[in-house]
Amino acid sequence: MTASNQEVSLGMPQLPAPAYPADVLGRLEADAKEVIARYPGSRSALLPLLHLVQAEEGFVSRTGMAFCADRLGLTTAEVTAVATFYSMYRRRPSGDYQVGVCTNTLCAVMGGDAIFDRLKEHLGVGNDETTDDGKVTLEHIECNAACDFAPVVMVNWEFFDNQTPESATRLVDDLLAGRTVEPTRGAPLCTYKETSRILAGFPDTRPGAVEASGGAGAASLVGLKLAKGEAAPHARVVGQRGEAPSAQPQKGAEHLSSHDAPQQTSDSDPDNPAGPAAEEGK
């Protein structure tokens, strides 16, 4: 154990972090070597290395932080500062599926707060808490740049668009029951550990995953067209509030998964239907 690996917390020396079992350490060392070799300066590899150790245990443990510090010639204080700054690193054991409900401004007013409250009640857990079976961790998340699909729920950072309390409840029930869950767009869903390994920069070898992960969603493309001053004949991506879903599939709607909500996402202002839908007939 080097001096850099000694855990120090506000003047209170702590016991050294427990060691990884030999087989785990061997595997991590080989993977870490590959990650570090990608960068001209080894300390630049800290973020992917934190994802790598998170892929091992499902969170960034003291052992994981000591491992990163050792490999990169950093102090554990430096590694801890980074690991605690970014919310994508967990600091304690949690569920296979992180269900993040966006409660930033736009999602909140479009129903994100109601979704979070419903899930809290349905799952019997609060923010950053995990169900007893260890499957689902519920979290408030910040804006994930998917405001055009508000309110958004993310499971292990995959998108579930235009959610409602009812559709989000079905989603978590499927996760708890082990049923297949398909994100609205992007790659197929995997566990948090598997997601962390992909974020460490290792290829996603699942069939079809790479092909599925590219491309913007339909609502974003409509916004791009409008921003360029081009006509967007199929601009109606979000339905009129209170209106039954159209019998005619809308262009771009074919990507919707079985976990998308019907496209009425808020009834807070029935006199003023929102966005492109309202503009379409003008």
Report the interface residues with ligand FES, using CB under 6 A.
Answer: 102, 104-107, 143-144, 146-147, 150, 152
CB of 80 or CB of 264, closer to ligand FES: 264
Of 152 and 198, CB closest to ligand FES: 152
Give Cα 249 to chain centroid, integer Å.
28
Q: Which is nearer to ligand FES, 79 or 154 (CB)?
A: 154
Least distance from ligand FES to the Cβ atom of residue 160, Å: 12
In the complex with ligand FES, the residue whose CB is nearer, 32 or 171, is 171
Half-sphere exposure of 52 (CA within 13 A, CB side): 26
For the bound state, the minimum distance from the C-beta of residue 44 to ligand FES, rounded and expressed in Å, comes to: 29
What is the smallest separation between the CB atom of 260 and ligand FES, expressed in angstroms?
Answer: 15
Which residues on neighbouring strands pair with residue 226, listed in sequence order? none
Which of 66, 102 has the CB closer to ligand FES? Answer: 102
- DSSP conformation letters of the chain: --GGG--EETTEE-PPPPPPPHHHHHHHHHHHHHHHTTSSSGGGGHHHHHHHHHHHHSS--HHHHHHHHHHHT--HHHHHHHHHH-TTS-SS---SEEEEEE-SHHHIIIIIHHHHHHHHHHHT--TTEE-TTS-EEEEEE---S-GGG-S-EEETTEEE-S--HHHHHHHHHHHHHT-----SBSSPP--HHHHHHHHTT----STTHHHHT-S--HHHHHHHHHHTT---TT---SPPTTPPPPSSPPTTGGG--TTPPPS----S-TTS--HHHHHTT-
Q: Which is nearer to ligand FES, 28 or 153 (CB)?
A: 153
CB of 131 to ligand FES, least distance (A): 24
Residues in Cβ contact with 273 at an 8 Å cutoff, skipping those fewer than 6 apart:
240, 241
CB of 144 to ligand FES, least distance (A): 5
Nearer to ligand FES, 6 or 104 (CB): 104
Cβ at position 103, least distance to ligand FES in Å: 8
Give the shortest CB-80-to-ligand FES separation in angstroms. 29
